């Protein structure tokens, strides 16, 4: 099942859905993260990542 835009992922967890992600509260700071990769630390200490645009990998 593909996650929808707005889904969140915690820092250090495996990425649940490939796509473009941004730190919570920083929508202009996007990063592409592939499914299964470790969610990286956010640039400014934000608590988690928010899925902006999902890709086809699930």
Give CA–CA dist 57/23, Å, rounded.
20
Enumerate the domain spans of the chain. 8-54
pLDDT of res. 57: 62
| Predicted TM-score of the model (pTM) | 0.91
Per-residue confidence of the chain (58 residues) as pLDDT tens digits?
Answer: 689 999 999 999 999 999 999 999 999 999 999 999 999 999 999 999 999 999 976 5
Q: Which H or E run contains 51? A: strand 48-54
């Amino acid at each position: 099942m593909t996650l929808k835009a707005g889904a969140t992922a915690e820092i250090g967890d495996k990425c649940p859905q490939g796509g473009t992600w941004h730190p919570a509260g920083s929508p202009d700071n996007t990063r592409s993260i592939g499914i299964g990769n470790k969610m990286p630390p956010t640039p400014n200490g934000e608590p988690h990542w928010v899925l902006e645009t999902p890709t086809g990998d699930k």
